[in-house]
Structure 1
Amino acid sequence: MIFAIEEINNNTELLPGIKLGYQILDSCAAVPVAVQAAFQLTNSGENIFYMNNNCSQSGMMASVIAESGSTPSISISRIIGSFDIPQVSHFATCACLSDKQQFPNFFRTIPSDAFQAVALAKLVKHFGWTWIGTVCSDSDYGNNGMASFLQAAQKEGICVEFSEAFHRTQPRKTEMVADVIRR
């Protein structure tokens, strides 16, 4: 990220007369840490500074490039969206984030899961699999992606015998899902 910003700032043809500043906070992919960082950014009221040899310029935060995961992105977007601060994510694919009523300031550089769900349903149909079971992670990404897939599978005439969700930190639930698959 720093490299890209410095490359932009060092190229006088890209943004003439404008220098980008940045502040980097690491959420460690944890929702509580991401929420705390979002509140910190919105409540600080601090200017972001850019220093060069001739002068010091300041400006307000223009956007947040944040979070790869859908769940933290949803949380951050709900907070900073209230302040009309745009958020750009490079990896949050939950189709729910396409809802501009709920997330008017959320943008992404990758397609939503809706496309992946349709493609997976078409792949299942292509191979002639008409009766399947599904498993997903128990997260916004997994649950919303699965909902999109189940809808697409129904349109393709695919029967879904079971649909299970689990989180890797729940060994008992993982074992229950394994038992369902074995049946």
Structure 2
Amino acid sequence: MVVSLSKGQKVDLTKTNPGLTKVKVGLGWDTNKYDGTEGFDLDSSVFLLNDGGKVSDPSDFIFYNNTTGGNGSVVHSGDNLTGEGAGDDETVSITLNSVPEGVQRIAFTVTIHDAEARGQNFGMVSNSFIRIVNEDTNEELIRYDLGEDFSIETALVVGELYRHNGEWKFNAVGSGYQGGLAALCNDFGLQVG
């Protein structure tokens, strides 16, 4: 049975699914019609965070140019340049029991590539979601539909997996940022230009 979440809700993942070790996190979106000539290119990224909420090393930032992190426990599917079609646009596979002990939170984000130059923002995006699937059975366990709460934001923290008393839980964050990927990187302890 799928657990559908609202913004800010938290739910157990491994406690309610004993034996769960491999999950696939799917992220998806559609773009609304707009007057610009440039296509939309949304990118998902993953930040492996320590207990201070920061990456410990630049390799803890996983995206289309660095698709594997956490000693191989987190693998990004790569860049989907258009987001067209139904279903997941980009996915991340995670072997939960192999995530390094120092990683307390795994944050899932989506940004709009070159948003400022293209005049694009999340007010032009609809049907955004994150879902967690049992990779062994392909059963959808958790789904969070973000709704249409955004306007001028160019980056989103969609949700996060986090450790709690030896178990993994999921938090439906749904938090928007201006400043795109650079703002997210700075918040998570990566210095970018």
TM-score normalised per structure 1: 0.26
Q: Considering fraction of residues, name the structure with more strand.
A: 2
Task: Report which of the two structures shows the higher radius of gyration computed on alpha carbons.
Answer: 1
TM-score normalized by structure 2? 0.25
Higher helix share: 1
Q: Which has the higher contact order (CA 8 A, sep 6+)?
A: 2
